[in-house]
Structure 1
């Protein structure tokens, strides 16, 4: 992890993260916890999975070891009652919500004729519906925060025909998350006497060494050419430390955020000399 400067402390700020058992969601939770944040983790993994490390309970233990306070909520971001329970838990334990991180996501990149309806529905339900449900449920509490943010893990809107045609259904689900964020940035802009909720998106410049990547064909080689999830955690807290109005309506790339924050050496995050460029980004 690089030492990324922040503009304001996270002490007593409360973050709700969807899909925070492992990977990028956990990395963001840990980065915030190291700066004193309270974290509520909403995730389905209550018991160990044979192919996936960690559970929502081990994630809570990691957050607390990192210096934050944490609570686990076992639930599904697709379920309105589970989402409401996560929000209620944050309010009951920590008195409110300052940050929402829409991290939970499903991916299926099969060609259209090979993609099952079940997988299509899963992507739309987790990626789009889940983002909508958690953000909607948290809005009343975000409005009372001094510096409220909603950070969504979604890409910039790139209409390069290559990305539109590569995996249209997955692209639709991820761009749907981005469009929700950009839409909310305008819908709620200035409703609090000139103050705003900072709706922004964050996307990795390169592949990230997560379980999803490791379980792909050739996963070991892919992981070697991927950066650590820590880069997303550090980029996220750099965004979330800023005043909400400065980031509202923006889409960020992790490497650009860190470069702007003064981090000049990204090699500490791994990936080798030429890490794999992530999807939705044109390397040129």
Structure 2
């Protein structure tokens, strides 16, 4: 495939930096899936905004690369790594405790994601269960363990952002587990908002296709399932219904998490930041 699906190198000038009194190293944000893609970009972007970030992933080497990228960008915050498996309940709980040890836990960005392409009748049940564990059950457990820590803050201010998708609003073929997870995340988010009393907010981020390994790795499988070329997958399946004919950069999504957790988004509670290039709300 051509470079139009290869992400640009993460640079400081692409990161949105906001003036927020809570964006200091005393305050901590958990970012899952932080070893690559949107998770890495979000961890670095939050550190650029002065926060201490508990960057977690099962990929230890990838996490170290995230730390190196943050150092290269001379971030004003900090990135601390927590290697953990999101399918292990004890390790999920340990992520939250490690983050709380770093300072006042206020923010969570549940971003970790996996994908599998297959029709429902042949979709492996174990793969379905794995995807739900990583992308829905783990965000629930992190939220469950993080809420008491966030509420301990003197003003109770905090936010939990969950990585949704346009596929949490509409469905396409061969992605039954992904759809189930993303629709479920919207429910988890709204339930969290209902219990957050307005100061502890929750929101989702729904994007179209982003230049990440999760997206690019599914192109060959989608082409095989549909009997089309990889180029047709990108141009017709991924971008065919969008008005903006380009994939997003990971940092574009990271900036939405920066905005969403900030005080500028204090009325965003239970809602969704939909950045999809016009895919959902227009048609021909």
TM-score scaled by length of structure 1: 0.77
Separation (CA, whole Å) in 2 of partners of 1:3 and 1:88: 28
Describe the superposition over 1:183-219 as per-residue Cα deviations: whole angstroms up to 9, x where unpaired: 1111x142xxxx5311100111x31101122222238
Q: Is the 8 A contact 1:149 1:244 kept in 2?
A: no
1:84 equivalent to 2:93? Answer: yes
Q: Which residue of 1 aligns with 2:187?
A: 179
Describe the superposition over 1:33-52 as per-residue Cα deviations: whole angstroms up to 9, x where unpaired: 111111011100124xxxxx
Q: Which residue of 2 aligns with 1:39?
A: 53
Separation (CA, whole Å) in 2 of partners of 1:57 and 1:23: 14
Shift of 1:254: 3.5
Match of 2:120 among 91, 101, 112: 112
How many correspondences in the alignment?
Answer: 246
Shift of 1:106: 2.1
Q: Which residue of 2 aligns with 1:259?
A: none
Q: Residue 78 and residue 96 in structure 1: after superposition, are their counterparts in 2 closer, same or farther (change >3 A)?
A: farther
Q: Is the 8 A contact 2:15 2:48 kept in 1?
A: no
Q: Is the 8 A contact 2:56 2:81 kept in 1?
A: yes
Shift of 1:70: 1.5
Describe the superposition over 1:45-71 as per-residue Cα deviations: whole angstroms up to 9, x where unpaired: 124xxxxxxx11211222344312111
2:263 aligned counterpart, secondary structure = coil
1:59 equivalent to 2:72? Answer: no
1:246 aligned counterpart, secondary structure = coil
1:248 aligned counterpart, secondary structure = coil
Q: Which residue of 2 aligns with 1:127?
A: 135
Match of 2:158 among 119, 142, 148: 148
Q: Residue 159 and residue 199 in structure 1: after superposition, are their counterparts in 2 closer, same or farther (change >3 A)?
A: closer
Unpaired runs of 5+ in structure 1?
A: 48-54, 256-274
Q: Which residue of 1 aligns with 2:31?
A: 17
Q: Is the 8 A contact 1:120 1:169 kept in 2?
A: yes
1:42 aligned counterpart, secondary structure = strand
Separation (CA, whole Å) in 2 of partners of 1:213 and 1:6: 29
2:160 aligned counterpart, secondary structure = strand
Separation (CA, whole Å) in 2 of partners of 1:101 and 1:125: 16
Unpaired runs of 5+ in structure 2?
A: 1-12, 221-229, 239-244
Q: Which residue of 1 aligns with 2:225?
A: none
Match of 1:213 among 212, 215, 219: 215
RMSD: 2.7
Shift of 1:144: 2.3
TM-score scaled by length of structure 2: 0.77
Q: Residue 202 and residue 99 in structure 1: after superposition, are their counterparts in 2 closer, same or farther (change >3 A)?
A: same
Q: Is the 8 A contact 1:198 1:244 kept in 2?
A: no
Separation (CA, whole Å) in 1 of partners of 2:108 and 2:254: 14
1:126 aligned counterpart, secondary structure = helix
Describe the superposition over 1:148-195 as per-residue Cα deviations: whole angstroms up to 9, x where unpaired: 0000001478665xx276633321111111110111111x142xxxx5
Separation (CA, whole Å) in 2 of partners of 1:220 and 1:64: 39
Q: Map 1:122-271; keep pairs closer than 5 Å.
A: 122-145=130-153, 146=155, 147-155=157-165, 163=171, 167-186=175-194, 188-190=195-197, 195-204=198-207, 206-215=208-217, 216-217=219-220, 218=230, 222=234, 225-242=246-263, 245-254=266-275
